[in-house]
A and B are shown apart, each in its own frame.
Chain A
Amino acid sequence: MAAEDKFRHEEDLFCPGHRACPGCGAAIACKLVTEATGPNTIMAMPTGCMEVTTTPFPESAWGISWIHNVFENAAAIAAGFETAYKAFSKRGKEGYMDYDDVNFVAMGGDGATFDIGIRSLSGMLERGHDVLYICYDNEAYMNTGIQRSGSTPLGASTTTSPSGKVSFGEDVHKKDMPRIVAAHGVEYVATANIAYPNDFQDKIEKALEIEGPKYIQVFAPCPRGWRNEARDVVKIGRLGVETALHPIYEMENGEITEVQKIKERKPVEEYLKLQGRFKHLFKMEGGEEIIQEIQRVADRNAEIFGLDE
C-alpha cells in the first residue's frame, strides 16, 4: 500500500484538512454523525463554526451531499429538500434516489437552533417533516467569537455576558430546548454527549429508523470558548454528565423513557474548575452563591431524571 493510502481518507465522509480548532468538540460530533448516517445522506447546516471551518471555497471537508444557506434556516432548507424527494418519489421522477433510502439531516449549533433558527425549526417540527435535527451544543455563538446564546449556562463568562466588577457573567439559566422540541409532539428527542460516542451513534441510528421529525442535542465542549485545555474536551464532556449538569436521556412522545444513570455523582466544582469561562466564580465575592445555584440545577436534574444510581 502506498504511504498515503493507509489512512483511507477516501472513505471519510467528514474529511481532515478542515480548519476547526485543535480539540474541537463539534468536529468530533460531525465525524460521529456522518459515520452513523452513512453516505445516503443530505445535510443542511446553518452558518456557524462547523460550516465556516469546513467549507472555505474551493475546499470542503464534506464527503456527503451538503448545503449551507443562511444562519437561521437549516431546518427549513432540510424541510425543502425532504419535500422535493418526496415529490420526486411520488411522481416517479427519474434520476433521483428513492425518498425512503435517503437520510434528511440538519445539523447546527446552539445559536442557530435555540435562538435565531427557532422559527424554522419549530415550523419543520410541527409540520412533521422526516428530518433528523442535530444540535451541537457548545453553549455560545462561538464562530463570531464567543457571544452568549440562549444555551449559555448561568455564570458563564462570554464576550456579551462577561464577568466583571459588577457581573457574574450570564445571569439567566440555559433554555430547555429538548423540552421545547418535545412540546411540538415530536416522537423522539434525545440528549447526547461526544464523551459517549457509542450512545450518540446508537441514538442517531435509532432516530433514522423513525419517520417524522426527530431531535438530538449533543453536548460538544469548545476549548477555545470555554477556555480549557484542548486535551480535556472529552473529559469535560464526561464531567458534564457525571455532575448531572448535562443529563443524557431519551424523551419519546414527551415522556422520559431512558436515562443514563450516574454511579457516583461529582460536585459541579469539578466540572467548573477546568474551564476558564467559570474561573471568576472561584475568585470573586459572591461567586460561591452562583456555584451553589449551579449545584441546585444539577441536583434538580438528578431528581427530575432519576440520575443517581
Chain B
Amino acid sequence: MDKMLTGYDAVAEAVKSCDPDVISAYPITPQTDIVEKLSEMVADGELTSEFIKVDSEFNAASTCIGASAAGARVFSATCSQGLKLMSEVLFTASGMRLPLVMAIANRSLSSPLSIWSDYTDTFAEKDGGMIQFYAEDVQEAMDNILMAYKVAEDREILLPALSCLDGFILTHVQEPVELYDEEDMKQFLPDRVPKYTLDPSNPVTMGAYTRPEYWAECKYMVQKALMKSKDKIGEAVEEFADVFDREYGLENNGLISTYKMEDAEVAIVSLGSVVGTIKNVIDEYRDKGEKVGLVKLRVYRPFPVHEINKALEDVEAVGVMEKHVPSGHQAGVAIDTKSALYSTGKRIPVLDFLVGLAGRDVARDNIRNVIEKTKDVKGKDPKEIGFDGEEHWEPLRTEILPEGI
C-alpha cells in the first residue's frame, strides 16, 4: 500500500490505524498539520475518535490523562514550548502509570524562539519516566507510533511514550510510505485492556499522595518498568517484523541499529533524520577503505546501555552527533554514552558534536568534519583531550560572536 505522503499526513494515518478513543491536541508549529489532518479525518467520519479541541497543551495532556485513567487509548501531539508546558502532567502520568502516546515534531525550546528542529524539547523530558522513540524517516516515525502503543499499554509497563520526528525535516517532506492493513493491525495492536479504571461499578482512588515511607518504592517501580520496557521493545520489533515485514534493530532489542560497525575503529553515535546523511558519508569513507561505522539510537529513554556497549566494544574513538545543547555540562547523548561505557572499564575518547541546531542543515561536509576530528583522537587517552576539548559545535559561526566570548 505505497503512498507518497507528507510526514504529518503519514503520522495521522498511523494514528488512525491505532484508532484511539480520545485525541486531544493543540496547535504548535510544526506539529499543527498532524492534528489538522486528524481533525479532518474525524470531520469526514473516517476516524471515530472523540476529538477534544483543547485550550492549551497543558490541557491536551491533562484531558489525555483523565481519559487514560478511564481506560481509553489516547493520543496527542506537540513539541517545543507545548511539550514544556505539559511537562508537569506528563511526569505525573508516569508516576500514576497511565499510558499515553504522543507524536513529537521535535523543535527547539525557546529562548530564543525557533520554529525549526532539534531535540532540546524532548531531551528536556528525559527524567519524566517516559519512553522516547526517534525516527530516521517518515515510515519509522509511523511505525514507532504503533510500537509506542504496544509497549506503553502493556500492563507491565504503563508509561507515556513519545514518537519523535524532526520538525519540518521529517514532518513536511513527502516520502513513500506503507500504510497498515486492518487485519494486521488487529493482530499487532489489540484493544487496550487497562489495569485500573475510573469505573463507578468498581471504584478506586487514583492519585493518592504518599508519605516518605512509600514514595521511593513507587518510583523504584517506575524505574523497573522503564528498564523492563527494553525487552518489551525488543519483543515489539520482532512481532512488528513478523506482521509488517519491516525490521528495526532486531539484533539489538529494537533499541539501536548499527551500520557498517562490524570492524569499525571510529564510530558515530547519532539519532533522528540526520542518520540518513551520515550513512551516505560513511559509505564514502568505507569506499576509501576507512573503518568508520554508525550506531543509530532508536530509543533515547530507556537508554540502551547494553546495546551501545556491545556495538562500541572494539571501537577506538566515538563521535556523538546530537541536536542538543549543553547546559553547564555536556549534551545528553554524549553524557549517557560515556556513562554507559564507564561500566565496561573501556576508556576511549568520546567527542560531543552539537549539530543541526534549530534546523540548521547538517551537510556532508559537517559530517566529514565530525569524522575527521574523531579520527584525530583515535588512540588518545581522554586525559590528553580534556573535558573541555570534547565539546564541538559543528559548526560554530565565530564571526558573529561578540568580543570576549
Q: Which residues of A contact B (CB under 8 A)?
A: 39-42, 44, 51-52, 55-60, 62-70, 72-73, 76-88, 90-91, 93, 96-97, 102, 119-120, 122-123, 126-127
Contact = CB atoms under 8 A, between A and B. Distances in A.
Nearest to A45: B207
A97 B200 contact: yes
14 contacts: A41-B200, A55-B205, A57-B211, A64-B200, A66-B206, A67-B205, A69-B92, A70-B88, A77-B65, A80-B52, A80-B67, A83-B63, A87-B67, A120-B59
A56 B208 CA distance: 6
B96 A123 contact: no
Interface residues of B, number: 46
A19 to B, nearest CB: 11
A86 B21 CA distance: 9
Interface of B: 21-22, 24, 48-50, 52-56, 58-59, 62-72, 74, 88-89, 92, 96, 191, 197-211, 214
Contact of B59 (A52, A102, A119): A119
Contacts, number: 164
Contacts of B67: 80-81, 83-84, 87
B22 A83 contact: yes
B70 A81 contact: yes
B199 A65 contact: yes
A102 B198 CA distance: 11
Contacts of B214: 57-58
A70 B92 contact: yes
A84 B88 CA distance: 22
Contacts of B210: 56-57
Max count, chain A CB within 10 A of own CB: residue among B71, B89, B201, B208: B208
B69 A80 contact: yes
List of 4 A-B pairs having minimum Cβ-Cβ separation, nearest first: A80-B66, A123-B55, A68-B207, A76-B62
A82 B66 CA distance: 8
A65 B203 contact: yes
A40 B201 CA distance: 7
B66 A77 contact: yes
B71 A96 contact: yes
Given A83-B52, A88-B21, A102 B96 contact: no
A69 B72 contact: no
Given A42-B200, A68-B206, A73-B89, A85 B96 contact: no
B128 to A, nearest CB: 14
Given A79-B63, A97-B199, A84 B72 contact: yes
A83 B20 CA distance: 12
Given A60-B205, A84-B72, A102-B200, A119 B66 contact: no
Nearest to B91: A70
A120 B70 contact: no
Contacts of B65: 69, 77, 80
Max count, chain A CB within 10 A of own CB: residue among B50, B52, B70, B72: B70
Given A69-B62, A90-B48, A62 B69 contact: no
Contacts of B199: 65, 96-97
A185 to B, nearest CB: 15
A73 B201 CA distance: 25
Nearest to A88: B21
A123 B70 contact: no
A87 B49 contact: yes
Given A42-B200, A65-B204, A79-B66, A84 B22 contact: yes
A27 to B, nearest CB: 16
B253 to A, nearest CB: 33
A64 B199 CA distance: 9
Nearest to B98: A69
B209 A57 contact: yes
Contacts of B71: 84, 88, 96
A67 B55 contact: no
Contacts of A44: 66
A42 B67 CA distance: 12
A266 B209 CA distance: 43
Nearest to A79: B63
B66 A69 contact: yes
A55 B211 CA distance: 11
Contacts of B62: 69-70, 73, 76-77, 80, 120
Contacts of B74: 80
Contact of B52 (A59, A73, A79): A79
B180 to A, nearest CB: 19
B203 A80 contact: no
A65 B71 CA distance: 13
Contacts of A127: 52-54
